[in-house]
Chains A and B, each alone.
Chain A
Amino acid sequence: TQLLEQSPQFLSIQEGENLTVYCNSSSVFSSLQWYRQEPGEGPVLLVTVVTGGEVKKLKRLTFQFGDARKDSSLHITAAQPGDTGLYLCAGEGSSNTGKLIFGQGTTLQVKP
């Protein structure tokens, strides 16, 4: 069974601080996605990483896929209150059917 361990589960920081969220597994994933979910809404895709070692940047967000495609990280620079939300990592499983395995999520609170 493929599992994704996401850490930390909760993070409360001040505006302007940097943070990193980690997503780890003992399994290899063909792709890994990061989502952000607002209360009462569905997850919204932020990025998909496919190649081992790949780094993608989205404004103040930097996503990295591990060389072995077993882990990923999300780094936010100079966090803002608007970054508050639930961040989810999800790996495409070995079945290659588009089925996603989700981490437990990281609840981020950025205080002004």
Chain B
Amino acid sequence: NAGVMQNPRHLVRRRGQEARLRCSPMKGHSHVYWYRQLPEEGLKFMVYLQKENIIDESGMPKERFSAEFPKEGPSILRIQQVVRGDSAAYFCASSPSDRAYGYTFGSGTRLTVV
């Protein structure tokens, strides 16, 4: 029973490029959450998705960031025209319900913008 799978583990992008981060939830989990962890800071909520729906995107920057969770395939967090300030660890968590019980985090994607 695989856990939450995130890839890539490490991603290096030049300023202005696009970053695509993928998250496959645990089997049977249909609720996906994305968090960002800046150096020396705690995790900050970005977006909550269910299959084909964005439920809460209150933590997403208004520009350049988007997320999706299609009917088939992994959830994708997309960052367009990356800037140095986007460098962070991005974590995905999945849950079997819309509550915080049973939350499982992936190992994260470490994005470095050079």
Q: How extensive is the interface on chain B, given as a class?
A: 20 to 34
Size class of A's contact patch?
20 to 34
Residue in B43, B100, B105, B110 whose beta carbon sits within 8 Å of that of A98 in the complex: B100
Q: B106: which of A31, A42, A97, A104 is its contact (CB, 8 Å)?
A: A42
Contacting residues, chain B, for A101 (C-beta < 8 A): 45
Interface segment out of the listed B11-19, B68-76, B79-87, B91-99: B91-99
Please, which residue of chain B has its CB at the minimum distance from the CB of A100? Answer: B100
Contact between B101 and A48, CB atoms less than 8 A apart: yes
Residues of A within 8 A of B44 (CB): 102
Quick check: A98 and B42 within 8 Å, CB to CB?
no
Does A33 have its Cβ within 8 Å of any Cβ on chain B? yes
A98 contacts B91, C-beta separation under 8 Å: no
Q: How far is the CA of A27 from the CA of B32 in the complex (A)?
A: 25
Residue of A nearest to B110 (CB): A40
Q: In the complex, are the beta carbons of B108 and A42 less than 8 A apart?
A: yes
Assess whether A98 is in contact with B48, with CB atoms less than 8 Å apart: yes
A96, B106: Cβ atoms under 8 Å? no
- Asked whether A103 is an interface residue with its Cβ less than 8 Å from the other chain, the reply is yes
Q: How far is the CA of A86 from the CA of B45 in the complex (A)?
A: 18
User: Are A97 and B98 in contact (CB-based, < 8 A)?
Assistant: yes
Which of A92, A96, A102 counts the most chain B CB atoms within 10 A? A102
Which chain B residue lies CB-closest to A99? B45
| B residues adjacent to A (C-beta < 8 A) | 4, 6, 31, 33, 35, 41-45, 48, 55-56, 91, 93, 95, 97-101, 103-108, 110
